[in-house]
Amino acid sequence: MNPSLVGSDLCVPCGLCCDGSLFERANLRAGEQSFTAGLGLKVLNASSEKPGFHLPCPLFKGCCSIYEQPRPHICGAFKCKLLLACENNRFELSDGLEIIKKVRAMQAELSSLLPTSVDGISSRQEIKRQMQALAQASQEERRTHLSFLVLAAKYEMLLRKHFLLQFSKKNLPNNLPEMDG
């Protein structure tokens, strides 16, 4: 474990798991629904066994606006691959910050290339939906949006390489915090 790294060194300037870039919902633990709704977050499946809240989180304002206050458990517990790699000395903090910068730059370029523009940050899921729509479209349409398709494929690879944990559901430890796409 890297003793000099504080998770916030990487996470405060990042926020990709809060702003909807990576996930469209975060899972809650049982009993957190009222507290989470009280924070102004949109609780999903409140009475089911798998409650969650909708992302992008409205409390993300460049960084988490309640970082020092009580938050849903997952907010402090979730660790992406990049954070784990920095904690385990497989990456320097500066390398991690460079990767986040690269993701943000690709996001900005992708937003300008989206076949159907969206407000705010384009989530990974929205990019996938638009890629799938193009897969059903004419060859000419696909050719028109070739730059988008190429960049979207590279973006997905970057997210998988550095952020998304590739566990199969059956191998997930019971206590591992999850974010869902």
Question: 89 in the Ramachandran plot: left (φ > 0), alpha (ψ -120 to 50) or beta?
Answer: left
Query: Strand, coil or helix: what is 158?
Result: helix
Identify the residue among 5, 28, 83, 152 touching ligand SF4 (CB under 6 A). Answer: 83
Does residue number 15 form part of the binding site for ligand SF4 (CB under 6 A)?
yes
Q: How many residues bind ligand SF4 (CB under 6 A)?
A: 20
Q: Which of these segments, 76-84, 127-135, 150-158, 170-178, binds ligand SF4 (CB under 6 A)?
A: 76-84
Q: Which is nearer to ligand SF4, 11 or 121 (CB)?
A: 11
CA distances 108 to 58, 69, 86, 128, 166, Å, are 20, 31, 25, 16, 26
Backbone dihedral angles phi then psi of residue 145, each to the nearest 5 degrees: -105, 30
Q: Which of these segments, 9-17, 116-124, 140-148, 153-161, binds ligand SF4 (CB under 6 A)?
A: 9-17
- Please report, as a single letter, which amino acid is at residue 96: G
Residues linked to residue 180 through DSSP beta bridges, in sequence order: 25
The answer to whether the CB of 179 falls within 8 A of the CB of 25 is yes
Q: Which of these segments, 8-16, 44-52, 116-124, 150-158, binds ligand SF4 (CB under 6 A)?
A: 8-16
Residues that bind ligand SF4 (CB under 6 A): 10-11, 14-18, 57, 59-60, 64, 66, 71, 75, 78-80, 82-83, 163
